[in-house]
Amino acid sequence: LGNTCYMNSVLQVLNTIPEFVNCYSKAEWLDRGDLTDPASDLTLQLAKLCQGLNSGVYSREGEEAVLREEGSQPGVTPIMLRQLVGKGHAEFSSNRQQDSQELFLYLLELMERAHKKSNSQAPITCLQFMAEDRTECTASGQVRYKQRLEDYLPLPVPMEAATNMAEVTDYLARKAEVEAKGERLPGDDLVRAKIPSASLVEAFLQEEMVEDFYSSAINSKTTAKKTIRLATFPNYLMVQLLKFRVDENWQPVKLDVEIDMPEQLDLSSLKGKGLQEGEVKLPEDKQEESAPVNIDENIVAQLVDMGFAREGCRRAVFNTGNSGVEAAMGWVMDHMGDPDFSSPFTPGGNKAGGAKKCTAGEEVIGMVMSMGFSREQAEMALRNTDNNVERAIEWIFSHPDGEDAVSVESGDQQPGQGNVSDGDARYELSAFISHMGSSSHSGHYVCHIKGQDGKWVIFNDNKVAVSMKPPMELGYLYLYKRAGL
């Protein structure tokens, strides 16, 4: 299958969620699957995988002769699913290593799209929550609250919070000295920064200054203070630690740190409160929306080659007006920690009261129209599929009523808000995915899952074993479930 440990880890973790298992264990997905073209039926392929993993056939104790010959028990080989997920995607269609968090988000997107075709509910709402953005104009003191649907919680890693900074500084100095001589320090000499998990939550709670903020209160640009909270708490919460960033030479690096992620996590401090007594809402923004920018994919490709998430790169190129790699890289450095950095990006924005704009060229629009669709349908589909012709045509068939309503101010009903779960903010760790290596485009992924008997099990491709001391401090993605579930 190529380098697919990132995919194995994500699918194994998703398979621990009851909603996922209950959905794809149904015989109906196999009965009504598109048997004329099964390779294009995502629900069918997920059902095959889910039912195979939960059948028990692949979890029996292996025969000694086979284990000696193969090194492990033969497992499920989801070739058709792997090809389907990668179809039309520049990164996931390759045999190169990929970022497991990017795959997680892309899988949820594919699942939602596939279930719309069958007028059914994708088993992803248990992971989704409403984030609350609060923006305060520094000139007027007036505020704006907006809610948006999110699939994961990104937590920044504050290196300055390390409790062993002196030891780390000494180690880095010795490492640089030895490497200058063309040598290497022994692996046993490695010193990782130890960062308390509480400092990650504290960093998330901090205000962010927004430059060039257009204030509708003063009808001009000023600065603003922005904070993010959770308006709802899902049954299952995927937490990403933002370990990948750029160094002083603008090269992507991974933070080799230890973070004492707890088995019990209380996120009550992240609870959003909405408009408070005495706060004054900013007037509706009447600023004219600027003309859309056609994103230069050559600049995007150069940034992606450096190891950054494609959607974040597209954001960077868009927000710097195609002014070059250096400007876009600067934007990436400033915004890598943004919660929506890796989320799907549509140029032109998604302002309340206005539709997203289509930035596809006339040739691309014409290709879609040549299939018998109107220009309006073509532009609508392209702006919702990142200008991908094949996905745009599929989007038209799966959205006979057109686009969903756009997002609105906090307090009004949001798309998907009626389906997300909400409840207590206390969680228990149920699984985590670890990455071994210095870059998201190299190395190896494994996952650890907590069984019903309380034992931790490691899934390393098709090698499965009890983990006596799971390295929770070295994880990258953590799946928490609401306490008591």
pLDDT, tens digit (0-9, with 9 covering 90-100), for 286-316: 544 444 557 888 888 888 888 788 888 888 8
pLDDT in the model for residue 402: 65
Distance of CA 103 to the CA centre of its chain: 7
Low-confidence ranges of the chain (pLDDT < 70): 1-2, 32-34, 62-74, 246-247, 250, 285-293, 339, 348-361, 385-391, 394, 397-418, 440
In one letter, which amino acid is 52? G
pLDDT in tens, 12-45: 999 999 999 999 999 888 876 667 788 888 999 9
Tokens 């491709």 identify what position? 461
In one letter, which amino acid is 215? S
User: Cα Rg for the chain, rounded, in angstroms?
Assistant: 23
Name the β-bridge partners of 222: 213
Distance CA 268, CA 239 (A): 15
Distance CA 51, CA 254 (A): 36
DSSP label of 250: S
Distance CA 335, CA 210 (A): 11
Q: Dihedral of CA 333/334/337/340: which sign?
A: negative
pLDDT mean across residues, the chain = 84
**Pairing between strand 264-266 and 208-215?**
unpaired
pLDDT in the model for residue 407: 40
Tokens 């937490």 identify what position? 239
Pair 405, 353: CB distance under 8 Å: no
> Can you give the length of the chain in residues?
485
Q: Which two tokens stand for residue 197?
A: 């998990």
Give every CB contact of residue 413 below 8 A, 6+ residues apart in sequence. none
Distance CA 227, CA 209 (A): 9
Distance CA 384, CA 171 (A): 48
Q: Dihedral of CA 157/313/84/379: which sign?
A: positive
Distance CA 23, CA 481 (A): 18
**H helices present in 93-153, as ranges:** 100-117
Backbone phi, psi, residue 456, to 5°: -95, 140
Backbone phi, psi, residue 129, to 5°: -150, 165
pLDDT in the model for residue 349: 45
Q: Which two tokens stand for residue 472?
A: 């929770």
Distance CA 446, CA 4 (A): 11
Active-site positions read: 5, 444
Distance CA 464, CA 68 (A): 15
List Cα–Cα distances, 19 to 23, 130, 235, in angstroms.
6, 19, 10
Helices and strands (DSSP H and E) totals, the chain: 15, 16
By CB atoms closer than 10 A (0-12, 13-18, 19+), residue 107 is buried
pLDDT in the model for residue 64: 65
Helix/strand/coil for 123: coil
pLDDT in the model for residue 288: 42
81, 90, 345, 221: CA torsion to nearest 10? 160
Q: Which two tokens stand for residue 272?
A: 């959003």
Q: Dihedral of CA 166/171/174/179: which sign?
A: negative
pLDDT in the model for residue 93: 83
Name the β-bridge partners of 448: 432, 458
**H helices present in 272-407, as ranges:** 297-305, 310-319, 325-335, 362-369, 375-383, 389-398
pTM: 0.76
Distance CA 402, CA 162 (A): 50
Backbone phi, psi, residue 428, to 5°: -125, 140
Q: Which two tokens stand for residue 257?
A: 């740190």
Pair 122, 112: CB distance under 8 Å: yes
